């Protein structure tokens, strides 16, 4: 084998070995693209102290939609959020992989009572593989509502708030 071919083979081997260790997904914010899903929509109403606050939500009710969540979004309307719906109760934690905006999350049990509310900061490098910071309640939950960070505090809502979901579209059979 010629020296040129030997060097080329070594270069290809080194590049292959290095690429194996690279994290999946984008390396920079400008490389992040929002996956396309057809989300169902609805309204989550939060009621506390006689006041009601409505949040327009996209519903992540499949495994893939829950995995993607609010990844790569650069902004979230002040009255918007994402509702994660699990088939069964879970203790699965959340993290901020590929998430570019700070969020607050409320974990809700099967009766729509909050079992934990947390502020989730954007990771120093959100494109590093998880886990970085992880958030999860000490009790099982079936739903999770993500909104802009500080939303619950701004509206005076805590774990005593009542949560109600109204779908904008009927559920698919």
Residue 13's pLDDT is 37
Distance CA 154, CA 50 (A): 16
Distance CA 166, CA 45 (A): 8
Task: Give per-residue pLDDT as tens, 87-138.
Answer: 999 999 998 888 999 999 999 999 999 999 999 998 888 887 766 789 999 9
DSSP 116: E
Percent of the chain topping pLDDT 90: 60
Residue 26's pLDDT is 55
The model's pTM is 0.79
Residue 97's pLDDT is 86
Rounded to the nearest 10 degrees, how much is the dihedral formed by the CA atoms of 97, 102, 108, 113? 170
Tokens representing 146 are 């993500």
Tokens representing 37 are 């899903």
Ordered structural domains, the chain, with CATH:
28-167 (2.60.120.1140)
Residues 62-78 have a mean pLDDT of: 93
What are the CB-based long-range contacts (under 8 Å, 24+) for 86-89?
Answer: 86/141, 86/142, 86/143, 88/142, 89/140, 89/141, 89/142
């Amino acid at each position: 084998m010629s020296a040129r071919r030997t060097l080329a083979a070594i270069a290809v081997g080194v590049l292959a070995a290095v690429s194996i260790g690279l994290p999946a997904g984008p390396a920079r914010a400008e490389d992040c693209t929002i996956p396309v899903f057809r989300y169902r929509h609805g309204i989550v109403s939060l009621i506390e102290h006689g006041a009601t606050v409505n949040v327009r939500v996209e519903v992540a009710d499949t495994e893939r939609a829950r995995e993607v969540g609010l990844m790569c979004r650069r902004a979230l309307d002040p009255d918007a959020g994402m509702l994660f719906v699990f088939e069964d109760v879970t203790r699965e934690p959340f993290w901020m992989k590929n998430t570019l905006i700070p969020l607050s999350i409320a974990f809700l049990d099967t009766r729509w009572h909050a079992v934990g509310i947390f502020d989730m900061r954007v990771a120093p490098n959100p494109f590093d593989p998880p886990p970085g910071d992880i958030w999860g309640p000490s009790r099982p939950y079936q739903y999770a509502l993500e909104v802009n960070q500080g939303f619950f505090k701004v509206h005076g809502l805590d774990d005593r708030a009542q949560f109600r979901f109204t779908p904008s579209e009927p559920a698919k059979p």
